[in-house]
Amino acid sequence: MPKHLFLALFILLLNACNPPANRQDRIDLKVDSLLALMTLEEKIGQLSLYTSDWDVTGPTMREGYKEEIRKGRVGAIFNAFTARYTRELQRLAVEETRLKIPLLFGYDVVHGHRTIFPIPLGQAASWDLKAIEEADRIAAEEAAAEGLHWTFAPMVDIARDPRWGRMAEGSGEDPYLGSRIAEARVRGFQGQGLGQLNSVMACVKHFAAYGAAQAGRDYHSVDMSERMFREVYLPPYAAAVHAGAATVMTSFNDYDGVPATASKYLLTEVLRNELKFEGFVVSDYTSVMELIPHGVASDTASAAALALQAGLDMDMQAGFYQSALPQLVASGKISKELIDQSVRRILRKKFELGLFDDPYRYSDTIRERTTIMKPEYLDKAREVARKSIVLLKNESVLPLSKNLGTLAVIGPLADARREMIGSWSAAGDWTKSVTLLEGVRAAVSPATKVLYAKGSNVNDDSTSYFQQALRIARQSDAIILAVGESASLSGEAASRSSLDLPGVQQQLVDLIQQTGKPVVVVLMSGRPLTINAMAQRVPAILETWFLGTQAGHAIADVLFGDYNPSGKLPVTFPRSVGQVPIYYSMKNTGRPLDVNSKYTSKYLDVDNSPLYPFGYGLSYTTFAYSDPVLSTASLRAGDTLAVRVNLTNTGSREGVEVVQLYVRDLVGSVTRPVMELKGFQRVSLKPGERKEVTFFLTYKDLEFCRIDGSFGTEPGQYLVFVGGDSRDVRQAAFDLL
């Protein structure tokens, strides 16, 4: 009997005679018994992820890939979904291969699957962790019902340069907010655990520091200090891993001169040894191949060896593992044990998903028909979209009356159905999205006449639509003006050197504003834009991002006062692209700004301050804060500091305020940020109502990367700030002993 068959039978007998009580131990025994049966070619197949093709009918698989599946040379497929299609591919793997190992099916379910929610940056503006988790719970239910086991989300990269288009896909500039959202999204996708038929594996991306791409240019290099990495960029990855994320994806960039896909420091020392990650790591699309143009590998074999030795388990699309690993093993450059280690991690997830018990359990056409775009899912999409809207300015214009005589809806994004669902909208059907124009018409009274004009295109120099827009603007009692970016202008490979409104849209805004009619700008974008002129002249501005399937209804809910806006910015809005990167938690210089002294840190042509700060957002009511009261003036090890503030609704409408807690360490062994977010709460108040809001701070909240590289605290004086954004705060002081 061949040695590997004897070993497999021995493990199976051992398992039968002494079944372990722990589920994970039982899975590990099954993995080991299967691994003992596998040939080297079959093992390498498990490390290979290939894409499904598309045609006008949907996903399709080229015959060559089908043959690879039949040979057991494919472990996973992405861009393959629908119950029928995944069942077809799964049949090839489990009925026409020697060992019948099921495939994994993955897809970019980034902000919804069929029911599309706001882009992640928009969801972050809700500061509502429960709503974000519920959105991804729905996304997981729909995705799993269409045969998917795995989503390539959440993206948890901190981004402080809005020129980088993928800022749209993350949670903004702050590591604390980003970490809490990362945890919520992992819980949303994975639900009660792998193997539940309404859950999918989360994939934390992009590891690591991808959001710090130089010059805001996608795929570019990253250069930062280890301290910056550990204090700002690493925490959201760590939070997602500790929340139980099943997989991690590498980033395209290099870190400290080594591409992440070949970085043993990132993938082994940090991810596995420090963060104790136990799942498997997949490359981003062809990033193993890209080790060659990066200049760290000379050919296919060296690229594959570098990646596997670094700790990369699965090669997405490049095919380098498939073509190079057999010879690398034969030559002794790669050990079979190293390959077994990666195969073991992937097989473990397939067992946890229950695919060996029933490989078709996710490919159920009945469940698919009854799960997609349920009415309650659409209701939740509308709710999350409303919460994501940020009121940037309001000079007594909003909310609009539903009984206006004539209302003009103008702008290239006013009736742009495809744009509503934004970039990375997965299997979302843009034809089912609700436009702003449709939302407005559904909201106003039957007596209100709604006029529409395109005004301009999003991104060209034509002014041919101006006169029609001006004509209906003059006929109207109020104007809703929808401008911003198209969906394709943000997202992957969508970096911009300018943050101004594209095309002739600013000219359109100026033209309409000059009519003297009340104007509300509805701004749609995947990033902060530089809107100084608009902010100075237009009386009301809503930032609505790209809100998804129910965008038009959600915006109308806010425009006409059916919902009081509560969104807060998760990222700073600059005055000028020249200020970038600009973020609230900057460090002081030795010469901080003094407007009366030339030789201090400032620009000659623009103020240092942002146009709108991190955490900013208005409401249709107003809130008043008391000074914070601390439970003690001195915090000792093991103690907790309570920070209490009274919040009062001083307006005439019920509203929700996001109360934010910040801390500043006045003196440290290394320079410290001027403030850092350490807590937030959404508080609902009726007119005139007052509530006491309490935060609790511990030693752990005050840790940082000290001068010796260790994490911990240092004694000294701290300031604590509480307020409605990072600029409008009240403060108190305490000592850390």
Residue 5 pLDDT > 50, yes or no?
A: no
- For residues 505 and 458, the answer to whether their CB atoms sit within 8 Å is yes
- Say how far apart CA 647 and CA 693 lie, in whole Å: 7
Instruction: Kindly state the tokens that stand for 537.
Output: 């002249």
Dmax over CA atoms of the chain, in Å, equals 90
179 Cβ contact partners less than 8 Å away, ≥ 6 residues apart: 156, 235, 236, 238, 239
> What are the tens digits of pLDDT across the range 62-102?
677 788 999 999 999 999 999 999 999 999 999 999 999 99
Percent of the chain with pLDDT over 90: 94
User: How confident is residue 8, by pLDDT bands cut at 50, 70 and 90?
Assistant: very low
Close Cβ partners of 193 (under 8 Å, ≥ 6 residues apart): 199
**Is residue 6's pLDDT more than 50?**
no
Task: Give the pLDDT confidence score for residue 543 in this predicted structure.
Answer: 99
d(CA 489, CA 505): 14
The string of DSSP letters for 344-391 reads: HHHHHHHHHTTTTT-TTTT--HHHHHHHTT-HHHHHHHHHHHHHH-EE
pLDDT at 426: 85
Contact 174, 235 (CB under 8 A): no
Q: Which residues are catalytic?
A: 284
- 486: region left, alpha or beta (phi > 0 left; psi from -120 to 50 alpha): beta
pLDDT band at 54 (very low <50, low <70, confident <90, very high): low
For 310, half-sphere exposure in the C-beta direction (CA atoms, 13 angstrom radius) is: 27
What is the sign, positive or negative, of the torsion defined by CA atoms of 335, 339, 345, 350?
negative
d(CA 583, CA 497): 18
Is-contact 570 174, C-beta < 8 A?
yes
pLDDT in tens, 414-453: 999 999 999 999 899 999 999 999 999 999 999 999 999 9
